[in-house]
């Protein structure tokens, strides 16, 4: 995460003495990929004279952008003074009964362990058909050492716009320093279970079907005891019907011997003393746990050669980018190459991030990846990837080229320049206006409190982004036009989407460092028609994670994959939501299950939820609320 100037100095000069783009997949590139993984090399390069010029070339063109972008935005808003439009999203956090304060060490963020808190999940823990909310708390160094607990808060959805804190009886009694959350029904009993990541100790909670959970970590063997877990995700990589678990692990630091604030080359940002790392610190190895189907997991990290270079793992998503029916895995790494594990459909993976074009920036630099999500934003039938990065860097919009490779379209799509000075964390594709085209939400917020008040155009608290899909491969960033809630500055971390009130609209929730989360109710005035699909697997995993769904409406196809874990330390509504625009019916639905089973459903009216079971097809449909017809 440390600044791109350091990254530029460290990486760009190595790629070539004249800084051309190194072709992806070239042997030179791959050799550099391997070389760059070793911290010792960074020090050598840093010390080498004459390399700063190249680094400056690499970073300069883009560094000129933020000033231009913000200037033009400012002048536009100053001259136009449009009437205040109706807000698209309204902050209902307090009105909904959410009363939560995220603790994550000191407000000055003196140590790296104080910078990455804030996991959150939307999931239906009691199977009443309404999405509930789980908010993960952090800790402080003092409390952690003293054994003082900061368990998560579970909020039950009351169906009337409010939530009730049911934490006390939930049994979700995590004690330690927690960061992220993954949701999945690991035992296929039809009830969602909870995995909470933590510093040197994560925990799996089994859902007891009565509003309580039991800590089954020890039996399951997923304690992740020596790593600092951040994001995690359930996905069935071997298609045996049991959800496996991937845990992104970040940095290997000793809580009793944390690197002193501001001391050393990796503890500076633009000349300001800040918390140290992750560069200069030992990475923690990501872990993959195979579900044995009997309530236990086997750590297959070493066997399957997962993260051998111990990159700084932060974001993770399971997706089938080549649509071969076997789930692949993409990991956003901080200050190191991001990794794409191609599933060989034989129980193993080949890491192909560099060849596929998703390991580095388009000009060959390591980036500081934070959050990640996937949808088919241009409706060509293939899943694309969005990834957030550190400040002084563009975020990535990786377009799936259908041949195993991706092209970063952030620049042409209009998300690169505006995002440059921002530090992005949680990120979600979601069709907020039900137009039929996925839009993008990004939660922003820096990791260094010391940047606040500086003059170089990077803030600590930052406003989020709402990128509206213009249906032509481009996006328009409209957060400041969408009302006061998205115009404010936050220190954003997790971000998730859910149809919290079963209205056929996707709402938002994101977390805010050292503060309250933000629950945003979707109030888009002219929302399109919609379809929501809940999947129930039988031979496949019960959640249906990994199922590929293609719908056709008004002559257009939309493609999506079932999952809950993505973004940053987050879990979103697992029910697939499709915006339909003006279409009042869906002509066909095709579900390809991880088992290989294909279910086809014929014409259906819009504006309802369908429950589709593997091998049985459509088993129930419900216009979830009688007055849920879209406002036209």
**Residue whose pair of structure tokens reads 């996006």 in the numeric block:** 475
Beta pairing partners, 397? 386
Q: Angle formed by the axes of helices 27-36 and 39-47, to 10°?
A: 100
Residue 238 Cβ vs Ca ion, minimum distance, rounded to whole Å: 5
Residue 152 Cβ vs Ca ion, minimum distance, rounded to whole Å: 16
Which CB, 24 or 534, lies closer to Ca ion?
534
Q: Which of 244-252, 269-277, 581-589, 603-611 is the region at the interface with Ca ion (rule: CB under 5 A)?
A: 244-252
Q: What is the DSSP letter of 49?
A: T
From residue 502, how far is each of 192, 470, 628 by CA, in Å? Answer: 19, 26, 8
Residue 495 Cβ vs Ca ion, minimum distance, rounded to whole Å: 21
Among 317, 325, 316, 319, which Cα is nearest to 344's? 325
Residue 237 Cβ vs Ca ion, minimum distance, rounded to whole Å: 6
What single string gives the DSSP state of each residue in 83-110? Answer: --PPPSEEE-TTTTT-------S-TT--
Q: d(Cα 623, Cα 487) in Å, to the nearest integer?
A: 34
Q: Is 236 in the site for Ca ion (CB under 5 A)?
A: yes
Beta pairing partners, 604? 586
Q: Which of 234-242, 255-263, 446-454, 572-580 is the region at the interface with Ca ion (rule: CB under 5 A)?
A: 234-242
Q: d(Cα 223, Cα 426) in Å, to the nearest integer?
A: 25
- Please select the residue that binds Ca ion; options are 91, 132, 431, 448, rule is CB under 5 A: 132
Residue 502 Cβ vs Ca ion, minimum distance, rounded to whole Å: 10
315-354 residues near Ca ion, rule: CB under 5 A: none
Which CB, 266 or 297, lies closer to Ca ion?
297
Which CB, 238 or 393, lies closer to Ca ion?
238
Q: Which of 108-116, 188-196, 415-423, 475-483 is the region at the interface with Ca ion (rule: CB under 5 A)?
A: 188-196
Q: Which of 284-292, 316-324, 346-354, 428-436 is the region at the interface with Ca ion (rule: CB under 5 A)?
A: 284-292
- Please select the residue that binds Ca ion; options are 114, 215, 227, 240, rule is CB under 5 A: 240
Q: d(Cα 495, Cα 513) in Å, to the nearest integer?
A: 12
197 by DSSP, 3-state: which?
A: strand
Q: Is 193 in the site for Ca ion (CB under 5 A)?
A: yes
Which CB, 60 or 169, lies closer to Ca ion?
169
- Please select the residue that binds Ca ion; options are 30, 56, 70, 126, rule is CB under 5 A: 126
Q: What is the DSSP letter of 21?
A: P
Site string for Ca ion, 503-542 (x = CB under 5 A): ----------------------------------------
Q: Is 185 in the site for Ca ion (CB under 5 A)?
A: yes
E strand spans, 250-344: 268-269, 272-273, 287-291, 297-299, 312-319, 328-334, 339-343
- Please select the residue that binds Ca ion; options are 238, 286, 514, 561, rule is CB under 5 A: 238
Site string for Ca ion, 400-439 (x = CB under 5 A): ----------------------------------------
Residue 597 Cβ vs Ca ion, minimum distance, rounded to whole Å: 16
Among 124, 100, 115, which Cα is nearest to 624's? 124
403: number of Cβ within 10 Å: 9
Which CB, 291 or 512, lies closer to Ca ion?
291
How many residues contact Ca ion, by CB under 5 A? Answer: 18
Residue 173 Cβ vs Ca ion, minimum distance, rounded to whole Å: 18
Q: Which of 117-125, 394-402, 410-418, 605-613 is the region at the interface with Ca ion (rule: CB under 5 A)?
A: 117-125
Residue 310 Cβ vs Ca ion, minimum distance, rounded to whole Å: 24
Residue 581 Cβ vs Ca ion, minimum distance, rounded to whole Å: 29
- Please select the residue that binds Ca ion; options are 91, 124, 378, 599, rule is CB under 5 A: 124
Contacts of 9 (CB under 8 A, 6+ apart): 45, 46, 51, 52, 55
| 244, 257 contact by CB (below 8 A) | no
The helix (run of H) or strand (run of E) holding residue 373 is strand 372-375
- Please select the residue that binds Ca ion; options are 91, 215, 227, 244, rule is CB under 5 A: 244
What single string gives the DSSP state of each residue in 276-292? Answer: --STTSPBPPPEEEEE-
Which CB, 100 or 250, lies closer to Ca ion?
100
Q: d(Cα 440, Cα 575) in Å, to the nearest integer?
A: 18
Strand order in the sheet with 492-498: 89-91, 518-522, 507-512, 492-498
Q: d(Cα 580, Cα 629) in Å, to the nearest integer?
A: 13
Residue 501 Cβ vs Ca ion, minimum distance, rounded to whole Å: 12
Q: Which of 204-212, 360-368, 412-420, 452-460 is the region at the interface with Ca ion (rule: CB under 5 A)?
A: 204-212
What 296-299 contacts at long range (C-beta under 8 Å, 24+ apart), as own/partner pairs, is 296/219, 296/220, 296/221, 297/220, 297/221, 297/222, 297/244, 297/245, 298/221, 299/221
Q: Is 215 in the site for Ca ion (CB under 5 A)?
A: no
Which CB, 24 or 503, lies closer to Ca ion?
503
**Residue whose pair of structure tokens reads 């960061």 in the numeric block:** 179
Which CB, 184 or 445, lies closer to Ca ion?
184
Q: Is 573 in the site for Ca ion (CB under 5 A)?
A: no
Site string for Ca ion, 151-170 (x = CB under 5 A): ------x-------------
Name the site residues for Ca ion (rule: CB under 5 A). 124, 126, 128, 130, 132, 157, 185, 187, 189, 191, 193, 207, 236, 238, 240, 242, 244, 291
């Amino acid at each position: 995460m440390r600044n791109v100037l350091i990254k530029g100095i460290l990486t760009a000069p190595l790629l070539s003495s004249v800084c051309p783009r190194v072709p992806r997949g070239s042997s030179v590139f791959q050799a550099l990929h391997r070389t760059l993984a070793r911290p010792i090399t960074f020090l050598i390069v840093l010390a080498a004279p004459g390399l700063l010029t190249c680094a400056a070339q690499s970073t300069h063109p883009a560094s000129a952008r933020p000033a231009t972008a913000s200037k033009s935005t400012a002048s536009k808003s100053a001259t136009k003074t449009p009437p205040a439009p109706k807000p698209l999203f309204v902050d209902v956090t307090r009105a909904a009964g959410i009363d939560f304060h995220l603790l994550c060490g000191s407000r000055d963020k003196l140590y790296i362990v104080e910078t990455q808190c804030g996991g959150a999940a939307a999931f239906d823990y009691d199977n009443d058909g309404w999405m509930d909310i789980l908010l993960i708390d952090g800790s402080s160094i003092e409390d952690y050492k003293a054994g003082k607990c900061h368990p998560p808060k579970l909020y039950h959805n009351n169906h009337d716009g409010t939530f009730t804190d049911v934490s006390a009886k939930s049994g979700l009694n995590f004690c330690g320093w927690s960061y992220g959350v993954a949701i999945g029904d690991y035992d296929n009993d039809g009830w969602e279970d909870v995995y909470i990541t933590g510093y040197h100790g994560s925990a799996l909670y089994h859902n007891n079907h009565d509003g309580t959970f039991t800590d089954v970590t020890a039996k399951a063997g997923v304690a992740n005891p020596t790593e600092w877990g951040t994001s995690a995700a359930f996905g069935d990589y071997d298609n045996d019907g049991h959800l496996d678990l991937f845990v992104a692990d970040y940095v290997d630091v000793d809580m009793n011997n944390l690197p002193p604030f501001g001391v050393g080359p990796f503890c500076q940002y633009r000349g300001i003393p800040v918390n140290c790392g992750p560069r200069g610190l030992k990475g923690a190895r990501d872990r993959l746990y195979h579900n044995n189907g009997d309530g236990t997991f086997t750590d297959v990290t070493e066997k399957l050669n997962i993260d051998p270079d111990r990159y700084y793992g932060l974001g993770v998503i399971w997706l089938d980018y080549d649509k071969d029916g076997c789930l692949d895995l993409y990991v956003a790494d901080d200050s190191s190459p991001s990794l794409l594990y191609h599933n060989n459909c034989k129980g193993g993976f080949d890491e192909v991030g560099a060849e596929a074009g998703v390991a580095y920036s388009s000009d060959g630099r390591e980036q500081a990846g934070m959050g990640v999500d996937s949808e088919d934003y241009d409706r060509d039938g293939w899943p694309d990837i969005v990834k957030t990065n550190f400040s002084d860097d563009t975020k990535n919009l990786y377009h799936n080229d259908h041949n195993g490779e991706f092209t970063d379209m952030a620049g042409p799509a209009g998300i690169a320049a505006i995002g440059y000075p921002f530090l992005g964390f949680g990120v979600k594709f979601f069709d907020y206006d039900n137009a039929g085209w996925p839009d993008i939400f990004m939660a922003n917020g820096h990791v260094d409190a010391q940047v606040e008040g500086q003059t170089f155009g990077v803030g600590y608290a930052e406003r989020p982004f709402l990128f509206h899909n213009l249906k032509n491969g481009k996006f328009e960033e409209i957060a400041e036009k969408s009302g006061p809630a998205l115009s404010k500055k936050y220190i954003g971390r997790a971000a998730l989407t859910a149809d919290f009130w079963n209205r056929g609209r996707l709402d938002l929730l994101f977390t805010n460092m050292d503060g309250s989360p933000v629950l945003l109710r979707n109030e888009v005035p002219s929302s399109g028609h919609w379809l929501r699909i809940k999947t129930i697997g039988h031979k496949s995993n019960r959640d249906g994670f990994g199922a590929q769904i293609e719908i056709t409406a008004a002559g257009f196809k939309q493609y999506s994959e079932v999952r809950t874990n993505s973004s940053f330390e987050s879990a979103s509504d697992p029910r697939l939501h499709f915006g339909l625009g003006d279409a009042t019916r869906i002509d066909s639905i095709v579900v390809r299950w991880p088992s290989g089973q294909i279910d086809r459903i014929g014409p259906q009216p819009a504006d309802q939820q369908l429950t589709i079971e593997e091998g049985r097809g459509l088993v129930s449909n419900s216009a979830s609320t009688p007055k849920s017809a879209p406002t036209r």
